[in-house]
Structure 1
Amino acid sequence: MNALPLQHHGLTASRLVLGCMHLGGTWDRSAPTAEHVQRAHEVVDAALAQGINLFDHADIYTLGKSEQVFGQVLKARPGLRERILLQSKCGIRFPDESAPGRYDFSREHIVSSVEGILSRLGVESLDILLLHRPDPLMEPDEVAEAFRGLKASGKVRHFGVSNMSAGQIKLLRAAWDEPLVANQLEMSLEKLGWVESGVLVNQPPGAHVGFPEGTLEYCRLERIQLQAWGPLAQGLYSGRSLEGQPESVRETAALVGRLAEAKQTTREAIVLAWLLKHPAGIQPVIGTSNAGRLAACADASRLSLTREEWYALYVSSRGARMP
């Protein structure tokens, strides 16, 4: 059972998402340059050329400069906003003079964060707002109050979460009576907890997986779109140096290479196709500002791995036979 396809102003969200984390330059208070804006133009063009129309932001990315340079792209290109879907996240606060780094799902912070996001992007509304990381002090009623106000004002159309377990989503849903459209989790051929938590049910190693059991299944049942951050594992299987890596990583990278050669595609496409094969309808969020690497990913949505190829990659990556 897959999530409902996200649609707005005639658009259906693409299977691949462009993560904008690296736009805007460095993670400091320096102002973005014309070069940073030009890079954003190039990446947007590369994404659109590959059929990608969903762009993922967060209010903290390069301390707001990611959204700022993207906003300059939108300002320079009238009509582009109606061709794309915009998603951003809030809830992480960096250390300041009053407190350490923390998470904040208070109504005040959510609302003020959205105001800042919209201002930096230069738009009137977001298609999706995600809560970035679970706040231990979350009051579901307060979050729901923020959501209702933002939706009623037309500032946010849909809401979702990031890095949340099934239990945390259920708690939030107790106060929010509309669908949560997405849950963004770290999922890749390297980070296998989302698969292992199901495979290792009733097995002693399952106690050490670390991925909340039942979350994948809950999201599928509730038709919550699973989005995968870090889907390429920072290039681990597609060209990054393997010096010092365990044998399972080296063998998996070699297998990825052989499959790419056999299917006349890129290693990036194979790694992403492995995620896309899963029946949950996972939506990889590709976090790159390199137009060439983005193009290398594009073939993934056109590939079809067999069950045997999927398991070959999985078993190789886990470094042990199936239990």
Structure 2
Amino acid sequence: MVIISFFWKFTIAPLFGWLAARLTIWLFNRLRLQDRGYYYVLFLGITLLIYGVAEMIHTSGMMAVFVAGYVIGNNSFVHKQGVYNFSSTLSIIANIGMSTLMGLLVSPHQWSTLWIDGVVLFLVLTFIARPAAVWLGTLGMGIKRKDKIFVMWAGLRGAVPIVLSTYPAAAGMAIGQDIFNLVFFAVLLSISIQGSTMGVIARWLGLSTPSRPKPLYNLELITMAESDLIIVDLPDPKGVSGPMISELRLPPAAVITLITRGKAVIPPKGSTRLKGWDQVTVLAHAKDEESIRNALLAPFDKPKIITENT
């Protein structure tokens, strides 16, 4: 019976999530709402509906919602950027509420009897379980050794393990509170040690790179058409001059609509010279995306450094 239940939950949920996602994309691309705010409300309602229906048919609502989000996020639809921004705001609110609830559940005075177990759990996860999991999970993927080491050191952080540890307590298990306190302590230890040293480890492994500032402007399609907005981040080094727009071999239907350089917006003209770290927005056919990226990125493989200001 347990095997049948497991099969039902983890087989039907992905299928249901995928089907719901395809229907959601179809619906978004055919609606003509006057106010874009309705799209965000619709997205929230559909998310809750997917979870609710999945739970009603006794499958995994969490997995159904995850698969639906994965499928929706990897397809084009109207107001995608706006829905992404709305979802990010909701996730921040959810994290605040979740952190508050976890603060109400944790009992630090009970750690006096569990801290040794917590340290042992942290050491096992850090130096045995996680390295083994990363090694097995990346077999045959061609990932460099230093990248694997960094992933191994990334550690057990975030709210997910803590939230999962609340399930035994919610189920009324006698050791439920002890499990929660143990996991909370181990995660807190991981955040303190691994989280505070990730920058040092990244620099030691040569993986640290300057972070790009978020662009102040972005464009968004409000109707579906044959064209799409393709955003290309030009590579390092920052400020190194590349080709002029007139020198680019872009597809005939491709038009550069926006160049963001730090806090400045550069009007795209034929004489405008691109520079490293520019964010270039191109209006073009989706099928031309690869050729557009090649045309923009290839000149920076061996950039010619010049000092003129454009």
Q: Quick check: TM above 0.5?
A: no
Higher strand share: 1
Higher helix share: 2
Relative contact order higher in (CA < 8 Å, ≥ 6 apart):
1
TM-score by length of 1: 0.24
| Bigger radius of gyration | 2
TM-score by length of 2: 0.25
